[in-house]
Amino acid sequence: AQSVTQLDSQVPVFEEAPVELRCNYSSSVSVYLFWYVQYPNQGLQLLLKYLSGSTLVKGINGFEAEFNKSQTSFHLRKPSVHISDTAEYFCAVSDSGGYQKVTFGTGTKLQVIP
């Protein structure tokens, strides 16, 4: 069974500064990886996903993530954050190949400071 660790529960960052939200996973097989964003009182919205191919994945709103198999990581980055990026971010993993359940991390709250 797979698991996901988001080490940082909260990350404060000043507006226009870069940010990295960390995600590590464990799995004995190949995986699919996802980052979701959740704004207050909203559902989750997919930011980006890694299924196969290039390890650098670009998503919406200027976010990107890099799949690092040797370090079992999938950290989310943005070079310059905006106030509107304030939200909770969830990393998720599923085993690849056919229908598999998704496991979510506990989330990281990004607080962008003006």
Query: Vertex 108, ends 89 and 24: CA angle to 5°?
Result: 90
Taking the complex as a whole, the smallest distance from the CB of residue 80 to another protein amounts, in Å, to: 26
Taking the complex as a whole, the smallest distance from the CB of residue 47 to another protein amounts, in Å, to: 11
> Residues in the site for another protein, rule: CB under 8 A?
9, 32, 34, 36, 41-46, 49, 51, 88, 90, 94, 98-102, 104-107, 109
- Looking at the Cβ atoms of 43 and 114, the one nearer to another protein is 43
Contact call for residues 32 and 49 (beta carbons, < 8 A) = yes
Contact call for residues 10 and 108 (beta carbons, < 8 A) = yes
